[in-house]
């Protein structure tokens, strides 16, 4: 009798082996299931699922988790807040279709770091649908089924298996236009800050197996889906972090437009004081955007040590720019007194363009650093367009408009006013040439004659004509100093 029953059941097992086992597990594994359906109705499936079973005997934690694959990563953490929470973060593996699961701990509201003290492995079984797969396309999802060994205690916290209201956090990473997403087998892979996050609570008495025989990855219900049970939603929030975008926008605007404009104001339009105001305003905004960059840096493992190229170049640039401010002011004051070039003026003149150039280059380095390499191409196109405009204004005026400017100056009686840029100081401009009727241009004004030595490398320019119009055309002015 006994033996016949045994024989029958062994035969049955050998026939339906896997299915029988799975059905057993499905029926007997206690689990709490949290589901969150995003109100974003643009897509059909925007459900976040987290199902949990804990083996009280071994402290092994079994999890099933899935989220739309439009998100870079999905994660759940044990605890009420990021700080000290043990998080299970999953993202596509390097081939783009498998999954990587990384246990992590965070010290605050910042990117969690891989925690080596707990090991997790993916679980494969026929009755776990779409397990450990990152599918692509519309309505695609990523799913993991996994076990994390001995994971109810970690140095900063623990999971209370007797609690009926154990808090958890969840979050999903941002998506990227163009459908590219994080693909890595690295358990320390860099994450970008969440697009949405929230909290939920689980009744752990519903999720805990008292014996290992009933423990396992929670199975879906008869319809093949996971439905919310033993879990309640706390909060769910979209995370609108504008700081990186503002940082990038201000920096690009300053280095690509404002600082070059400030340079043109001096070089082409000879407005020293306006030049100082524009560059000073630019420096103020860059300083604020740098402060923002420093705050952002503290959030990510890749940036919190300030050792990346983007950050080092940025810090050197801000130092260079404050030097520019000091050099410019000191040079200007000395020049007003002596009308002589200074070494500070010379440094200012070369450090300025170098700073702008490195600032322009640092932007795409930053895009790549922040995980937004797709911004590089549009940026480069804009920079090239602006470079063409800049070169046209900077050098075009010197080629095309020299004569006109001079005639205009002469007409306005601005005998001291100079043609565009440092080139204007060059001798031939003051020599006799066809088209100028005014005798004042036959000879260089005395002040310039004195300082021909600084000719083509003027670091500074007097802003106004000399005061004394009445001192006579070409005659020595009563007060040889420029007004500013
Ligand atoms: C690159 C990775 C991450 C960064 C930089 C980051 C950063 C932050 C920041 C700055 C906040 C405060 C937001 C605010 O004040 O509005 C925050 C909150 C939060 N994050 Fe994260 N986070 C990251 C990863 C994660 C992960 C993996 C999860 C879930 C597993 C998560 C869950 C939460 C939750 C639930 C909150 C609100 C509760 C709290 O303040 O701790 N975060 N995070
Ligand atoms: C949603 O589902 C419908 C029917 O299955 C399908 O036609 C539609 O393309 C889906 N929408 C998206 C955004 O995938
Ligand atoms: C991708 O990698 C996963 C492991 O991460 C593996 O299970 C899967 O078979 C791989 N898929 C392909 C198409 O190579
Ligand atoms: C489980 O982890 C705890 C610390 O979190 C440790 O003390 C204990 O020895 C571990 N047990 C096993 C079986 O590894």
Q: Which ligand is the nearest neighbour of the Cα of 183?
A: 3
The answer to whether residues 170 and 237 touch, using CB atoms and an 8 Å cutoff, is no
Both tokens of residue 230? Answer: 């033993």
The answer to whether residues 31 and 214 touch, using CB atoms and an 8 Å cutoff, is no
Residue pLDDT, tens place only, 141-178? 999 999 999 999 999 999 999 999 999 999 999 987 67
Give the residue whose CA is nearest to atom 9 of ligand 3: 98
Phi, psi of 397 (to 5 degrees): -65, -30
How many residues are given for the chain?
A: 484
- Ligand 2-lining residues (CB < 6 angstroms): 43-44, 138-139
CA angle 378, 384, 386 (to 5 degrees): 105
The answer to whether residues 127 and 22 touch, using CB atoms and an 8 Å cutoff, is yes
**Fold observed for domain 26-238:** Immunoglobulin-like (2.60.40)
pLDDT along the chain (484 residues), means of 10: 39 35 58 90 78 97 95 97 98 96 97 98 91 85 97 97 97 83 96 95 97 94 92 94 96 98 94 96 98 97 97 98 97 94 95 98 96 94 97 80 51 42 32 35 40 39 41 38 37
Q: Answer whether 98 contacts ligand 3 (Cβ < 6 A).
A: yes
pLDDT at 416: 41
Give domain limits for the chain. 26-238, 243-406
User: Residue 52: CA atoms inside 13 Å, Cβ hemisphere, count?
Assistant: 33
Q: Which ligand is the nearest neighbour of the Cα of 98?
A: 3
Write the CB contacts of 235 (distance below 8 Å, at least 6 apart in sequence). Answer: 198, 199
Q: Which of 106, 110, 194, 301 to mutate to test the pocket of ligand 1 (most atoms within 8 A of CB)?
A: 194
Rounded to an integer, what distance in angstroms lies between the CA atom of residue 61 and that of residue 65?
Answer: 13
Rounded to an integer, what distance in angstroms lies between the CA atom of residue 329 and that of residue 273?
Answer: 10
Give the residue whose CA is nearest to atom 14 of ligand 3: 95
Q: Answer whether 131 contacts ligand 3 (Cβ < 6 A).
A: no
Q: Answer whether 244 contacts ligand 1 (Cβ < 6 A).
A: no
Point out which residues pair with 134 in neighbouring strands.
Answer: 142
Query: How many angstroms separate the Cα of 409 from the Cα of each of 264, 340, 438?
Result: 19, 25, 11
Q: DSSP state, 256?
A: I
Residue pLDDT, tens place only, 416-439? 434 333 432 223 233 333 333 333
Q: Answer whether 150 contacts ligand 4 (Cβ < 6 A).
A: yes
CA angle 56, 62, 67 (to 5 degrees): 145
Rounded to an integer, what distance in angstroms lies between the CA atom of residue 346 and that of residue 420?
Answer: 19
Sign of CA pseudo-dihedral 316, 318, 319, 321: positive
């Amino acid at each position: 009798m006994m033996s016949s029953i045994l024989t029958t059941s062994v035969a049955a097992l050998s026939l339906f082996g896997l299915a029988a086992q799975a059905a057993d597990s499905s029926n007997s594994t206690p689990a709490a299931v949290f589901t969150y359906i995003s109100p974003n109705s643009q897509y059909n499936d925007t459900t976040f699922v987290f199902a949990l079973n804990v083996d009280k005997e071994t402290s092994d934690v079994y999890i099933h988790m899935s989220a739309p694959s439009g998100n870079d990563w999905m994660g759940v953490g044990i605890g009420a807040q990021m700080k000290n929470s043990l998080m299970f973060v999953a993202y596509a593996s390097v081939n783009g279709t498998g999954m990587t699961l990384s246990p992590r701990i965070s010290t605050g509201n910042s990117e969690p770091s891989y925690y080596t003290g707990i090991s997790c492995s993916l679980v494969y079984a026929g009755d776990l649908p779409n397990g450990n797969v990152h599918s692509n396309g519309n309505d695609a999802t990523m799913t993991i089924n996994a076990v994390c060994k001995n994971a109810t205690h970690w140095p900063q916290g623990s999971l209370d298996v007797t609690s009926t209201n154990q808090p958890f956090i969840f979050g999903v990473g941002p998506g990227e236009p163009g459908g590219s997403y994080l693909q890595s087998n690295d358990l320390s892979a860099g994450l970008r800050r969440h697009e949405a996050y929230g909290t939920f609570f689980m009744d752990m008495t519903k999720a805990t197996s008292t014996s290992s025989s009933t423990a396992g990855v929670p199975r879906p219900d008869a319809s093949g889906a996971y439905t919310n049970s033993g879990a309640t939603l706390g909060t769910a929030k979209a995370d609108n972090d504008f700081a990186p975008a503002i940082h990038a926008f201000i920096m690009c605007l300053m280095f690509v437009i404002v600082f070059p404009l400030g340079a043109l104001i001096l070089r082409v339009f000879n407005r020293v004081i306006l030049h100082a105001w524009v560059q000073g305003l630019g420096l103020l905004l860059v300083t604020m955007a740098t402060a923002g960059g420093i705050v952002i840096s503290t959030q990510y493992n890749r940036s919190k040590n300030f050792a990346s190229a983007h950050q080092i170049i940025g810090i050197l640039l801000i130092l260079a720019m404050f030097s520019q401010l000091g050099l410019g002011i000191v040079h200007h004051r000395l020049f007003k007194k002596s009308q002589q070039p200074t070494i500070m003026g010379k440094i200012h003149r070369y450090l300025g363009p170098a700073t702008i150039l490195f600032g322009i280059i640092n932007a795409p380095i930053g895009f790549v650093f922040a995980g937004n390499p797709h911004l590089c191409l549009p940026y480069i196109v804009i920079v090239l367009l602006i470079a063409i405009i800049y070169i046209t204004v900077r050098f075009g005026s010197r080629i095309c408009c020299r004569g006109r400017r001079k005639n205009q100056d002469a007409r306005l009686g601005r005998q001291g006013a100079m043609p565009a840029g440092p080139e204007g100081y060059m001798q031939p401009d003051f020599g006799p040439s066809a088209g100028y009727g005014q005798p004042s241009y036959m000879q260089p004004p005395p002040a310039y004659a004195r300082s021909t030595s600084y000719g083509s490398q003027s670091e500074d320019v007097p802003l106004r004509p000399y005061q004394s119009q009445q001192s006579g055309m070409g005659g020595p002015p009563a007060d040889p100093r420029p007004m500013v």
